Amino acid sequence: MEQTFIMIKPDGVQRGLVGEIISRFEKKGFYLKGLKLVSVEQSFAEKHYADLSSKPFFNGLVEYIISGPVVAMVWEGKNVVTTGRKIIGATNPSESAPGTIRGDFAVEIGRNVIHGSDSVESARKEIALWFPEGVAQWQSSAH
Ligand code: CMP
């Protein structure tokens, strides 16, 4: 079954949006397979965002991600990578539709509350990076 990596960024944690965000994924019908509150170091954040290292906003992005604890999660379900990104909304909150997480809770691209893997391959890499210990093996009876 497909899995994706979802991270609630420091602004999402500080603003008390953790429960709301988890609720949206649960109510959609996805299954929580991994969850932890972590403060990551600069080198780890740089590794997570390695594909963006040449972007002008890279240093600011890394500073933002290490500015406070984040909630790292693995969610599982049919088409969860693509559907998860629909639940999250467009990267730039100015373009994300109302009803999406960023559409409802963010205004700045540099403070956009949440990250979701952009492909099955990215999800595999990000889950391996954030959950080297592995994730839960439980299967919902609805699977
Ligand atoms: P995320 O889904 O975590 O993937 C890459 C992140 O880079 C993105 O969300 C934004 O937080 C950030 N980002 C993308 N474009 C910009 C930009 N133009 N300025 C600042 N941050 C950006």
pLDDT tens, residue by residue, 43-65: 999 999 999 999 999 999 999 99
The pLDDT, as a whole number, for residue 139 is 79
CA of 109 to the centre of ligand 1 (A): 6
Task: Tell me how crowded residue 141 is: count the other CB atoms within 10 A of its CB.
Answer: 4
Q: How far is the CA of 127 from the centre of ligand 1 (A)?
A: 19
Binning pLDDT at 50, 70 and 90, where does residue 131 land?
very high
* Portion of the chain with pLDDT greater than 90, in percent: 96
The residue contributing the CA closest to ligand 1 atom 11 is 110
Helices (H), the chain: 10-14, 18-28, 42-48, 58-65, 80-88, 101-105, 120-130
pTM over 0.90: yes
């960024």: which residue's tokens?
A: 9
Q: What is the ipTM of this complex?
A: 0.95
Position in ligand 1 atom list of the atom nearest CA 9? 3
Q: How far is the CA of 46 from the centre of ligand 1 (A)?
A: 13
Residue-wise DSSP of 91-107: SSTTTSPBTBHHHHH--
